[in-house]
Amino acid sequence: MTETAFRNGRIVLPGEVIAGDVLVRNGAIAAIDHRGPGHSGVDLDGDWLVPGLVELHTDHLEGHYAPRPRVRWNPVAAVQAHDAQIATSGITTVFDALRVGIDEDSKLEPHDMLTLAGAIEDSQRQGRLRAEHFIHLRCEVSAPDVVESFAAFEGDPRVRIASLMDHTPGQRQFTSLDAFRVYYQGKSGMSDAELEDLIARRQAQAEQASGVNRLAIAEMAQARGIVLASHDDATEDHVAEALAHGVTLAEFPTTHAAAAASQAAGLSVLMGAPNIVRGGSHSGNIAAGDLVAAGLLDVLSSDYFPFSLIHATFIVGLAEGGIGLPGAVAMVTSNPAKVAGLDDRGAIAEHKRADLVQVRVHDHVPVVRAVWREGVRVV
């Protein structure tokens, strides 16, 4: 039997913050004591103690695997580098987002995604990783190869979430073609004529394939018990379509109306933590902070910047007149854990996994001082 006491901390519990102690036994939380300052065990020195963060949607791994054009890093080393940044951001459970359905201008191929999935599995099995990793398949339904690519993951038990995405210009994330032009030309350097040709091709491709592929992926996901997410819903019709396909998670709704309709229908609403940190959407859509204020945000995701998750938590949680730290912490712990069906973690509560993060705030920016996964220190 292994036993560790965490003392002298500000413990963020569901619904309240206490000055007290947490006793961990054999990787699980055994007791929570309100006695206040103690003298033995792990001295938290007055820092916050929060549950390990649960990240549902990050495509951060791709940048480690393909850091430059035509460069492919050792996939196991890429996973380890990604994992290190995840863990030092306080994330103890992560759903690595791998794309299926490849855009014509993508620098990655379907076999790259299978390579990364294999590296995740191998690294987890060999105990190389600090966080626990699962897989989230980002399904670009307008791509001709999306159903075939999704089927290639059929035997992978780490696949727990799939999102139905359609980045066709002129709708959803890019309702404004002008916004798409600014974003895409800045990324690709295309001329005006080249970009207009790409827009026309993608719109024609989506008209032919998106509806059929969306339904096929939804049916395959439901048959395998995979949590299904919509992506970039902009209208109430989009939300109705998502519900018809069995979606339970609304990722990155682009309008207040879509977020409100999603939550009213019982969907969990997820937004990007970078949106909170930056104070708005980089593509001109609804600000996540506005959804927090309206009570329409359930889950935060780091998306493309791992540290943004803990950063946004303390921005929201310590804001004067806001939802408070327990409410903000729930958005990155218990709420996403519930969405993913992981009822063994996500809160500092008896019998839950001892996934814990010690945090101190300096100049409004959190410092992750230590991380434990199932009671074992990993950072």
Instruction: Say if residue 220's pLDDT is above 80.
Output: yes
**pLDDT value for 209:** 74
Quote the strand ranges of 232-267, DSSP E.
Answer: 249-251
Tell me what pLDDT residue 35 has.
65
**Is 263 a member of any domain?**
yes
Flag whether 140 is in a domain.
Answer: yes
Q: What is the CA radius of gyration of the chain?
A: 21
Give the pLDDT score at 283. Answer: 65
Residue 322 is assigned to a structural domain of this protein: yes
Instruction: For residue 7, tell me if it sits in a domain.
Output: no
pLDDT in tens, 267-325: 999 999 999 999 988 666 899 999 999 999 999 999 999 999 999 999 999 998 899 99
Classify strands 42-43 and 3-13 as parallel, antiparallel or unpaired: parallel
Of 8-12, 65-69, 102-106, 367-371, the range with the lowest mean pLDDT is 102-106
Say which residue, 104 or 134, is predicted with more confidence: 134
% residues pLDDT > 70 (the chain): 88
Domain of residue 154, CATH code:
3.20.20.140
* The pLDDT of residue 120 is above 90: yes
Q: For residue 138, what are the β-bridge partners? A: 99, 163
Residue 234: domain span: 52-346
pLDDT band at 185 (very low <50, low <70, confident <90, very high): low
Domain annotation covers residue 311: yes
List CB contacts of 363: < 8 A, sequence separation 6 or more. Answer: none
> What is d(CA 241, CA 339) in angstroms, rounded to the nearest whole number?
19
Residues 355-368, mean pLDDT to the nearest whole number: 96
* 41 is a domain residue: no
Residue with tokens 């804001």: 319
How many domains in the chain?
A: 1
Most confident of the ranges 35-44, 126-135, 165-174: 126-135
Contact 136, 160 (CB under 8 A): yes
338: Cβ contacts below 8 Å, ≥ 6 apart? 268, 346
Cβ burial 191-212 (10 Å sphere, 16+ → b, else e): eeeebeebbeebbebbeebbee
Question: Looking at the domain assignment, is residue 45 inside a domain?
Answer: no
pLDDT, tens digit, for every residue of 338-353?
999 999 999 999 999 9
Asked if residue 33 is part of any domain, the answer here is no
Across the range 17-34, mean pLDDT stands at 92
**C-beta of residue 54 within 8 angstroms of C-beta of residue 332:** yes
For 10, the 3-state DSSP assignment is: strand
Q: Whats the size of the chain, residue-wise?
A: 379
- Greatest Cα pair distance, the chain, in angstroms, is 70
Q: 3-class DSSP state for residue 330? A: helix
**pLDDT tens-digit readout, 224-265:** 999 999 998 999 999 999 999 999 999 999 999 999 999 999
